Amino acid sequence: MDYPHPFIAREGWPFLAGFFFAAILCQLLGWSIPAGLLGLLFLFTLQFFRDPPRDIAGVDDLAIVAPADGRVIAIEECDDPWLSRRALKISVFMNVFNVHSNRSPIDGEVKQVTYHPGRFFNAALSKASLENERCAMHLVGANGADVTCVQVAGLIARRILNYMTPDKKLARGERYGFIRFGSRVDLYLPLDVRVCVTLGDKVFASSSLLAEFAKPPKQNT
């Protein structure tokens, strides 16, 4: 598939440049230990900002793919605080070794993007969904279904990036944002979806199928 983004995400370039030149400067000054530590930080940052191409799971509009790399830490019916409805929430937790580029779970249109300031609890905790800094994106799928995709900051994450605006169209698996240094993504889905993962499953953005929308009833002819 076409992939218009560099393998090392642009969001990381300033950090990489800073650590690289600082390490070189320390080495030139004969400060070997600081240079080595900065070199390790450079390598850690390099792996953190990986943004590799991915295959897209699913073959039709019913597919709902993982919006992020990580581990499934919640599958539960709850209130969707953004659309005031009952929904099925599936949460994916990203640790610092996962890819942090976020991708659209469905083919759809962006209806609203809402940023909410908050705290920085460990993103693996359930209260992070309601108390941490977060950015919610309301999508309407090609089948008319509502999906709320929420980027949640974590204990270390301090910057949520969402590049979408209302009325923009997103393809399933298309990149729409990034979260720096550890976080989670919550999906609020219609209650009648068919879940394709279990708690603890490791998933990959775009290439892992999280769920499928219910098939529309057959029309009598």
Is 189 domain-assigned?
yes
pLDDT at residue 158, rounded to an integer: 59
Q: Are 195 and 146 in a shared domain?
A: yes
Q: pLDDT class for 61, splitting at 50, 70, 90?
A: confident
The whole-angstrom distance between residue 202's C-alpha and the CA centroid of its chain comes to: 14
Q: What Å distances lie between residue 10 and 96, 98, 177, CA to CA?
A: 17, 16, 11
Is 72 domain-assigned?
yes
Is 159 domain-assigned?
yes
Q: pLDDT class for 5, splitting at 50, 70, 90?
A: low
Q: Are 25 and 67 in a shared domain?
A: no
Is 58 domain-assigned?
no
- For residue 74, give the DSSP letter: E
- For residue 219, give the DSSP letter: P
Is 55 domain-assigned?
no
pLDDT at residue 118, rounded to an integer: 77
Strand ranges across the sheet with 175-180: 101-103, 175-180, 159-162
What 3-state class would DSSP assign to 217? Answer: coil
- 152-169 pLDDT tens trace: 987 765 578 899 999 999
Q: Which of 47, 51, 132 is nearest to 96 (CA)?
A: 47
* Domain encompassing residue 24: 10-48
- 102-111 pLDDT tens trace: 999 999 999 9
Q: Are 94 and 203 in a shared domain?
A: yes
Is 131 domain-assigned?
yes
Q: Are 158 and 83 in a shared domain?
A: yes
Q: Are 80 and 180 in a shared domain?
A: yes
Q: Are 103 and 146 in a shared domain?
A: yes
Quick one: what percent of the chain has pLDDT higher than 70?
A: 91
Where do the DSSP E strands lie in the chain?
63-65, 70-80, 85-94, 101-103, 108-116, 134-141, 146-153, 159-162, 169-170, 175-180, 183-189, 194-195, 202-203, 209-212
Q: Which of 101, 129, 183, 206 is catalytic?
A: 183
Is 127 domain-assigned?
yes
CA–CA gap between residue 192 and residue 171 (Å, rounded): 22
Residue 198's contacts (CB-CB under 8 Å, 6 or more residues apart) are 72, 75
101 is catalytic: no
Count of domains forming the chain: 2
CATH assignment of the domain containing 206: 2.70.70.10
Beta-bridge mates of residue 110: 139
